[in-house]
Each structure stands twice: as structure tokens, then as C-alpha cells.
């Protein structure tokens, strides 16, 4: 039995989980999420606990067991607490700002980079060019952060670009002067 998969998911107060076959809807104060799970796992609710069980014992089903439980737990945590990621813009003249539903960044190009914010994403730019991105959907949050970082990934010589807050950039030495 999967250690992750067999752990029950505690549903906090204010969150409702609706199960209809393999479709699960989770509603909470931060929003609503829906997902269709694979038929290899069954999801049941007992009081304020949600249990994920597998139908068979083959390798593919065992791998889906822990994954399904984690995805469902992320849905419950997302609608109750939400998720947050921080990006840092590093470089002279590099900056970010939020204008309405757009993230506008100056990243060393000849033009500003404008990114429309998708539904369900909230962005805030703080001191030191720290971009705080919040969402109730963990997958949407990760995809959007990756998209923003991809506009100017950190380069290996000076470390300029958009990076995750705790990301460590291993820098190259560069050219060494030849001594005669």
C-alpha cells in the first residue's frame, strides 16, 4: 500500500467535497476546483475525511494511487489556504509592475514585456522587484510562474534575469585574463 495514498485527507470547515463517480468538485473560500480522476482509483468520503483507494494491485494502478491522493489534497489545500510563489527580478534596469490585469516587466529588451494575468492568478510586486504570485490552483500557479521565468531566465555569467526566490544560480567563471 502506498504510504502517501493510504493517508486520509482531512477536509477543513468551510470546504465541501462533492464526489460523483470519478469527478470530484471541491469548493471553499478561495474558489472552486474540479478534476476527473482515473478509474483505477476510487474516492470516498467518510465524515470530514476523504479516502483514496486503488482498485487493482498492478504497477500502473499503484503509481496512480499516491498521485491521485496528492492531487486531491492540493485541491483541498488550494481552496482553503491557497498557494504562493515568489519570483525575483535581478539586473540593473530590470523591473516589474502590475498595471490592471497585466504584469509589465522591463527585462533588458528594446520593449517592455506585457503578460496578461489568467483568471485565478493574483500578482503583487513588492520592494526589491519581488513578484508574489498567488492562486488556489497549484498547477496553474506553477505553469504561470514557469512562463514568467521563461521570458528572461537567469543567465550563468552575471545571474541577471527572472528567478525563483530560493533558486541558486551556479555562475560560470567567464574569461580569465592571460598572464605573460
Q: Do 70 and 41 lie in a common domain? A: yes
Using a pLDDT cut of 90, give the percent of the chain over it.
Answer: 79
Q: 138-149, pLDDT tens digit by residue?
A: 999 999 999 999
Closest Cα partner for 2 from 49, 64, 55, 72? Answer: 64
Q: What percent of the chain has pLDDT over 70?
A: 97
Mean pLDDT of 15-34: 94
Which candidate, 13, 27, 159, 168, places its Cα nearest to that of 91? 159
For residue 145, the model assigns a pLDDT of 96
DSSP conformation class of 40: T
* 103/34 same-domain check: no
One domain for residues 15 and 28: yes
Check whether 5 has a pLDDT greater than 90.
Answer: no
- Write out the residue range of the structural domain in which residue 151 sits: 83-164
End-to-end Cα distance, the chain:
67
Average pLDDT over residues 116-122: 95
pLDDT in tens, 72-101: 999 999 999 999 999 999 999 999 999 999
What is the maximum span of the chain, computed from C-alpha positions, in angstroms? 79
What would the DSSP string read from start to end of 3-37? TTTTSPEEPPTT-EEEEETTEEEEEETTEEEEEEP
pLDDT at residue number 136: 96
Strand partners for 25: 18, 34
pLDDT at 4 over 90: no
- Predicted confidence (pLDDT) at residue 178 exceeds the cutoff of 60: no
Place of cell 521570458: 151
Mean per-residue pLDDT of the chain: 92
Q: Does the pLDDT value for residue 167 go beyond 60?
A: yes
Supply the pLDDT for residue 174.
78
Query: Is residue 175 a part of any domain in this protein?
Result: no
Domain count, the chain: 2
Q: What CATH number did the domain enclosing 116 receive?
A: 3.90.930.12
User: Going along the chain, which residue ranges are E strands?
Assistant: 9-10, 16-20, 23-28, 31-36, 41-46, 49-54, 83-90, 95-99, 102-106, 113-116, 121-125, 130-135, 161-164
Cell numbers at 64, concatenated: 496512480
32 part of a folded domain? yes
Amino acid at each position: 500500500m502506498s504510504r502517501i495514498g493510504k493517508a486520509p485527507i482531512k477536509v477543513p470547515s468551510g470546504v465541501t467535497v462533492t464526489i460523483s463517480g470519478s469527478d470530484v468538485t471541491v469548493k471553499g473560500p478561495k474558489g472552486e476546483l474540479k478534476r476527473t480522476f482515473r478509474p483505477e482509483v476510487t474516492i470516498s468520503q467518510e465524515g470530514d475525511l476523504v479516502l483514496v483507494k486503488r482498485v487493482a494491485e498492478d504497477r500502473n494502478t499503484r503509481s496512480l494511487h499516491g498521485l491521485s491522493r496528492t492531487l486531491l489534497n492540493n485541491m483541498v489545500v488550494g481552496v482553503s489556504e491557497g498557494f504562493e510563489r515568489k519570483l525575483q527580478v535581478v539586473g540593473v534596469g530590470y523591473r516589474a509592475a502590475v498595471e490592471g490585469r497585466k504584469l509589465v516587466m522591463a527585462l533588458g529588451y528594446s520593449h517592455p514585456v506585457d503578460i496578461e494575468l489568467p483568471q485565478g492568478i493574483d500578482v503583487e510586486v513588492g520592494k526589491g522587484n519581488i513578484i508574489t504570485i498567488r492562486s488556489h490552483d497549484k498547477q496553474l500557479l506553477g505553469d504561470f510562474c514557469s512562463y514568467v521565468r521563461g521570458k528572461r531566465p537567469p543567465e550563468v555569467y552575471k545571474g541577471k534575469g527572472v528567478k525563483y526566490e530560493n533558486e541558486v544560480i551556479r555562475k560560470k567563471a567567464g574569461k580569465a585574463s592571460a598572464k605573460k
